[in-house]
Amino acid sequence: MKLTTTGIISALCWSARIASASTAHILTYNAQSQPQPRHAPHSRTLSPVPARLLLAQRAGVEDYHRADIARDEVIDAINEYGVRDRMFTEQRDGSRRALIVVEGAEGNELDSFRSAYTSVQVSPAPPAHASKALFIDLVKQSDPRPLAALSDDAVLAHIKHTNNVVVNGDMFYLADSLADARAMFEKLAKSNEWRITALISPQGKEEKFQWGTYEIPQRQMKPKRDRLPKEEPLAETHSFKPVQSFSAPVSSFANNTTPLRGILPACFTSQSACESATRNCTGHGQCSKKYHDADSLAPGGSTGLDCWSCQCKSTKSSDGKKTTVWAGPACQKKDVSVEFWLIALFTVALVSLIGFAIGNLISMGSEELPSVIGAGVSGPTARK
Please report the beta strands in the chain, taking only residues with DSSP state E, as ranges in sequence order: 24-29, 44-46, 96-103, 118-122, 171-174, 194-201, 213-215, 224-226, 285-297, 303-312, 315-316, 323-324, 326-327, 333-334
Of 149, 200, 146, give the one whose Cα is nearest residue 177.
Answer: 200
Q: What is the pLDDT of residue 202?
A: 83
pTM over 0.75: no
Q: What is the DSSP secondary structure assignment for residue 59, as one 8-state letter?
A: H
pLDDT at 28: 92
What's the CA gap between 262 and 125, in Å, rounded? 46
Question: What one-character-per-residue DSSP string does 171-201 give?
Answer: EEEE-SSHHHHHHHHHHHHHHT-EEEEEEEE
Please choose, from the candidates 73, 68, 98, the residue with its C-alpha nearest in 3D space to the C-alpha of residue 83.
98
**What is the pLDDT at residue 26?**
92
d(CA 45, CA 124): 9
Query: Domain spans of the chain?
Result: 13-226, 260-334
The full length of the chain comes to 384
The predicted pLDDT at position 350 comes to: 95
User: pLDDT at position 87, please?
Assistant: 52
Q: Which residues contact 216 (CB under 8 A, 6 or more apart)?
A: 64, 137, 140, 141, 148, 224, 225
pLDDT for res 101 = 92
The set of residues, in sequence order, having a beta carbon less than 8 Å from that of 119 and lying 6+ positions away, is: 25, 26, 27, 28, 43
- Report the pLDDT value the prediction gives residue 104, as an integer from 0 to 100: 74
Q: Give the span between the Cα atoms of 120 and 118, in whole angstroms.
A: 7
By the 8 A CB rule, do 195 and 99 touch? Answer: no
Distance CA 275, CA 49 (A): 45
- Quote the CA–CA distance of 274 and 268 in Å, as a whole number: 6
* Cα 279 to Cα 129: distance, rounded to the nearest angstrom: 47
What are the average pLDDT values for consecutive 10-residue runs of the chain, which has 384 residues?
51 50 84 54 79 91 86 88 66 74 79 87 86 89 82 86 80 89 91 90 70 74 46 53 45 57 81 86 87 65 75 84 84 82 94 93 78 59 60
**Residue 265 is which amino acid?**
P
Given phi > 0 = left and psi -120 to 50 = alpha, else beta, which region is 121?
A: beta
